[in-house]
Amino acid sequence: MIDHPFVPGDSSAIERGPWHYGADYLTAYFRADRSKLQGLVPHPFQVGDGTGIAYVCEIVSVSDNGAGMVADRPDRTVYSEAAVGLRCTFGGRPGVFFPVMWVTTEFSLMRGLLNGYQKRLADMIAMSRLHPLNPGLKPEGPGTSLSGFCMKGREVTVSVKVEIERAGTPEDLPPFGTTFGYRRFPQTDPTQGFVDEPVEILKSNSTVSRVWVGSGEASCSLGIGDLTVTSGAAYSSGFTISGSKVLATGSNR
């Protein structure tokens, strides 16, 4: 992958991948009206059973050769994200498609668009943070309330709240299968090329720890009506994204 947009080194908007991630999540799992969800999932994906995921998280990310940025350019390694994902299928294969992801940094926005995520810039993303040495706070555990939200202008685009009930394990987190995306770069002139391709996000090295589960609340601004939250969770996750590969449909341009 070339430096993008054509400026080498640390001044490039996107470092060469693979990219490695460590994230702290507040997540709510929900059900919604399937008829309203299909309009958010592009063909050839099909909405699944009407379940989905809403989350707010804080992420530390470095490229394969960019671990030194943690010390030299911390602004290029930390960002916040809020998203809504919908369970779907591609040719019968289960997965999740995120119709929108809000992020707080340019590098995450551009990297996501390159790989097929539908990313937008947020004006603010905030989530509850505890600290073990804060004498006014108890450590997270049963009875702890945590929340997070994303704002664009005056609009709250995603909001999540989790009431912890017990310690959990990775098996308590509902699986969603493959992460799907869509790379679409339309022509603005007939002389340009046109990119229109469903993709699979290539993820590996996935780990999950510090799992707490309980009840939750969630809302979003996508016009899909009320969300019936079935559970909530707070957890940490690590993974690698090496890029995305095109899914063959027989009609890709």
pLDDT tens-digit readout, 34-87: 999 999 999 999 999 999 999 999 999 999 988 999 999 999 999 999 999 999
- Judge whether residue 253 has pLDDT over 60: no
Three-class secondary structure of residue 39 per DSSP: helix
Report, as an integer, the average pLDDT of 174-185: 96
- What is the pTM assigned to this prediction? 0.94
Position 252 scores a pLDDT of 44
The per-residue pLDDT for range 183-194, each reduced to its tens digit, is: 999 999 999 999
Cα dihedral sign for 171, 233, 158, 19?
negative
Sequence-ordered alpha helix ranges (H) in 146-221: none
At 80, the amino acid letter reads S
If 0-12 CB within 10 Å is exposed, 13-18 middle and 19+ buried, where does residue 112 land?
Answer: buried
Query: CATH assignment of 17-246?
Result: 2.40.400.10
Domain locations along the chain = 17-246
